[in-house]
Amino acid sequence: MRTWIVVGLLTCAAVAAGWAWALSVRVPVEVGRVERGDIRAFIDEQGQTRLPQTYLITMPFDGRIEAIELVEGQAVSRGQVVARLVPLDLDLNYEEAHAAVERLTASIAENDDVSVETTSLRQAVSFVESMNRTVEAAAERVRAGKAKLEYSERVLGRVLQLRKSQAATEEAEDLARLQYVESSVSYQQDVLVKAALESIQAATALLPHLVQQYIDRKGLTRAVLEKQRAEAQVRLREAENNRQRGVLISPIDGVVLARRESNERRVAGGTVLLELGDLEQLEVEADILSQDVVRVAEGDPVELYGPAVGPRGARGRVARIFPAGFTKVSSLGVEQQRVKVIVAFEPGELARLRREQNLGVGYRVRLRILTEQKSRTLVLPRAALFRGAAGDWQVFAVRDGRARLTPIHVGLINDEHAEVLSGLQEGELVVLAPEATLSDRDRVRILNGVVETVDAQQRPGK
């Protein structure tokens, strides 16, 4: 009996000692204080510098380009010759086109000269008139031959009558017959000659019409030559224009961003030779997540920082928000919907960066777009916040040496601080980055030397 009493006392002593040791153990934590201060909500993103517009110097047409001496970074001024096509090629093309116009002009003048054709027309008319007279003469000769034939026929008849009565000699009969045959042959010849001359007359009558048609046709030829000359004049104007277009000038005061061609060689029309830009118009382009960009408005202030900007940073403002988003794959392979946002530098900032950092196109920068800010509001370190099982914000508040799990409502949040709307009071301490093993009411030991200053009577949950 006495033994059991001893064992019981020893057990109670051990349990009491264990409780005393457990009560003496404190979890080491670092804490932050709930204070009044300024807080700003911002979107932090990566961007890069760009130009709103670059100017491409391209080949105006197929041709041979002279060597380009300009190099990247070299300054150019408006109106400066930056590239040139080989002048001799352009001059030869111009001279060829000019010669074609002159040749066609001479052809038109030659076509308009109808002096030879006019003379031929007069000659043809005279020839027709001559043939008409000749045919008339042949007709008269036929009539005369016919009369002669009829006369010889009557003479022959009378001689034959006289021969029956022996009043005429045989010689007279023979002579009458001979005259009749001669008259008949002569008449037939006259008829044939007249018919031949009438055929020639019909053919000759066409000569004036033929010459006149040739003269009229030269008017149609002139119209064709005038069209050809008009085409040649267009080619001449094109050749003249090409001589002017063959000298490529800078449209801006700026610098050479890229030189695509350097040696003299033949290049196809449309080939990019140089890319020019005005670095005084630099701006920043950033791809913002679509769920964040809804909080951004044109005119919002922007802080620019990073190695390309330098230790002082720079200021800017949101100049433009693109109306359409696009899909972008992150470095982790996640598809994200993003929207382009353009940031313009505040006056004087770009000039300073160009002078101090030699900022150029395509330089990577970091930017913070300030979407909202509040002054003299309750804030706590962002590291103290974590989500509860229900998705609400919670913190471990340090009260009377213990960690007390406290749900809170927050307002603005950034990477460093969060605004406290309810659940905590000014001056309270909260555990920073609490361990997963930390539980409600655990005793804690503060490592970073912060002292509780809030009156326990003012603490919620007491």
Residue 450 confidence (pLDDT):
63
Residues 432 and 302 in one domain: no
207 confidence band (pLDDT: 50, 70, 90): confident
458 confidence band (pLDDT: 50, 70, 90): very low
Residue 252 confidence (pLDDT):
92
Let me know if residue 14 belongs to a domain. no
Residues 345 and 362 in one domain: yes
The mean predicted confidence, pLDDT, of the chain is 85
Residues 233 and 106 in one domain: yes
* Average pLDDT of the segment spanning 286-314: 92
Alpha helices in 246-335 (DSSP H): 290-293
Domains contained in the chain, number: 4
**CATH code for the domain in which residue 262 is found:** 2.40.50.100
Residues 233 and 132 in one domain: yes
- ∠ at Cα 227 (223, 229), nearest 5°? 115
* Average pLDDT of the segment spanning 186-195: 86
203 confidence band (pLDDT: 50, 70, 90): confident
Asked whether residue 422 carries a pLDDT value surpassing 70, the answer given is yes
Asked whether residue 16 carries a pLDDT value surpassing 70, the answer given is no
Q: Which domain holds residue 71?
A: 56-85+246-276
Residue with tokens 């006392």: 9
For residue 289, give the nearest of 343, 344, 335, 345 by alpha carbon.
335
Let me know if residue 16 belongs to a domain. no
Residue 367 confidence (pLDDT):
94
| Residue pair 280/52 in contact by the 8 Å Cβ criterion | no
Asked whether residue 453 carries a pLDDT value surpassing 90, the answer given is no
The CB density around residue 420, as the number of other CB atoms within 10 Å, is: 26
| Residue pair 350/282 in contact by the 8 Å Cβ criterion | yes
Tell me the per-residue pLDDT of 108-125, one tens digit each, with 9 for 90 and over.
888 777 777 788 878 878
Tell me the per-residue pLDDT of 351-361, one tens digit each, with 9 for 90 and over.
999 999 899 99
11 confidence band (pLDDT: 50, 70, 90): low
Tell me the per-residue pLDDT of 146-188, one tens digit each, with 9 for 90 and over.
888 888 888 878 878 887 777 778 787 788 788 888 888 888 8
Residues 149 and 29 in one domain: no
Residues 211 and 321 in one domain: no
For residue 286, give the nearest of 363, 208, 395, 201 by alpha carbon.
363
**CATH code for the domain in which residue 210 is found:** 1.10.287.2610
Of 22-31, 249-258, 369-378, 440-449, where does mean pLDDT reach its minimum? 22-31
* Average pLDDT of the segment spanning 255-280: 92
Residues 153 and 263 in one domain: no
* Domain termination residue (choose one: 350, 374, 398): 374
Asked whether residue 460 carries a pLDDT value surpassing 50, the answer given is no
**CATH code for the domain in which residue 343 is found:** 2.40.30.170
Let me know if residue 6 belongs to a domain. no
* Cα–Cα distance measured from residue 456 to residue 435, given in angstroms and rounded to the nearest whole number: 25
Residues 233 and 251 in one domain: no
461 confidence band (pLDDT: 50, 70, 90): very low
* Cα–Cα distance measured from residue 165 to residue 150, given in angstroms and rounded to the nearest whole number: 24
Residues 256 and 299 in one domain: no
Let me know if residue 5 belongs to a domain. no
Residues 444 and 426 in one domain: yes
Q: How many helices (H) and strands (E) does the chain have?
A: 6, 23
Let me know if residue 1 belongs to a domain. no
Let me know if residue 333 belongs to a domain. yes
Let me know if residue 227 belongs to a domain. yes
Asked whether residue 388 carries a pLDDT value surpassing 80, the answer given is yes
Of 45-54, 72-81, 168-177, 227-236, where does mean pLDDT reach its minimum? 168-177
Q: Which of 198-207, 319-328, 409-418 shows the highest mean pLDDT? A: 319-328
Residues 189 and 80 in one domain: no
* Cα–Cα distance measured from residue 377 to residue 387, given in angstroms and rounded to the nearest whole number: 22
Long-range residue pairs from 290-294, CB within 8 A, at least 24 positions apart, any chain = 290/325, 290/337, 290/338, 290/339, 292/43, 293/43, 293/321, 293/325, 293/339, 293/341
Asked whether residue 104 carries a pLDDT value surpassing 90, the answer given is no
Asked whether residue 320 carries a pLDDT value surpassing 70, the answer given is yes
Asked whether residue 20 carries a pLDDT value surpassing 50, the answer given is no
**CATH code for the domain in which residue 34 is found:** 2.40.420.20
* Cα–Cα distance measured from residue 109 to residue 106, given in angstroms and rounded to the nearest whole number: 5
- The token pair at 223 is 């119209």
Residues 211 and 102 in one domain: yes
Let me know if residue 120 belongs to a domain. yes
* Domain termination residue (choose one: 374, 402, 435): 374
Residue 133 confidence (pLDDT):
86
SS3 420: strand
